[in-house]
Amino acid sequence: MSNLPDDKRSRALSLLNKDITKSPKRPSVQMKEAAAQEASMAQVNKIFLVFDATASREPTWQMAMRQQMSTARALQDIGKFVVGIAAHSGGRAKFLGWHDNPADAAHAMSQLDCNAGDTNYIDTFALLQEEVRKGNTADVTIMFGDCCEEYPEDVIKAATALNVPVFALHEDTGHGADKGKKVFRALAHATGAAFDELENYQAVVTAIAALLKGKQKDLTGEARIVMERLTRDNPNILRLSDLRNPPALEGPNRG
């Protein structure tokens, strides 16, 4: 039995109850952002990479291949990613499998050769649709190419069927590039992604990966410049890291 006087005992109980019922401190904005970034880093994101390996790209292919193989390594610096690689060459489309190791992804890309034949984005996207039906859904698709010799409406329809943003990166080789640029831009916007001229593979893949992880503030150098171009083309991609059921994004509002 307590020997405290009644008034002191009441005051002590009051203080005790106040401590027990006191609400815990609410986490700061910085703590919330740090926790969100940590969760994003731990999450494994999947990306489809689509390559045009037709003859029009042959003059720049060796340089492009060196840069293309660096894309997988660039992803490793941003977070955890698995890439599904597809390409068309000689009029035929092929899927080169899923890779979570940069060396394996680079090796798969090194097997690609330029061959004469029309572009075949429709069949290439169809192969990716098969992967989606198997449950291998990607968060975004990144396509690299110069021209498009198929009906634009059919290519865009095949791309939108993936139900993810498709970033279209255009290389100006001078071979039907004007039409290719128009199709790439329309396709990117139709899928809620962005278009850009292809100059630096590693920078553009780094920029898109950072947007997907919500780490765009950490970008520097060429990757930051590319990110700024992409977000000018479609400001909605700044919400790319919010996607859990892509695509929740829209194309740019052109007024």
pLDDT range class, residue 230, cuts 50, 70, 90: very high
What's the whole-model pTM score? 0.77
Which residue type does 143 have? M
Interacting residues of 47 by C-beta distance below 8 A, sequence separation 6+? 75, 81, 82, 83, 84, 138, 139, 140, 141, 142, 208, 209, 212
pLDDT range class, residue 102, cuts 50, 70, 90: confident
Mean pLDDT estimate for the chain: 80
Of 68-72, 103-107, 161-165, give the lowest mean pLDDT range. 68-72
What CATH topology corresponds to 48-242? Rossmann fold (3.40.50)
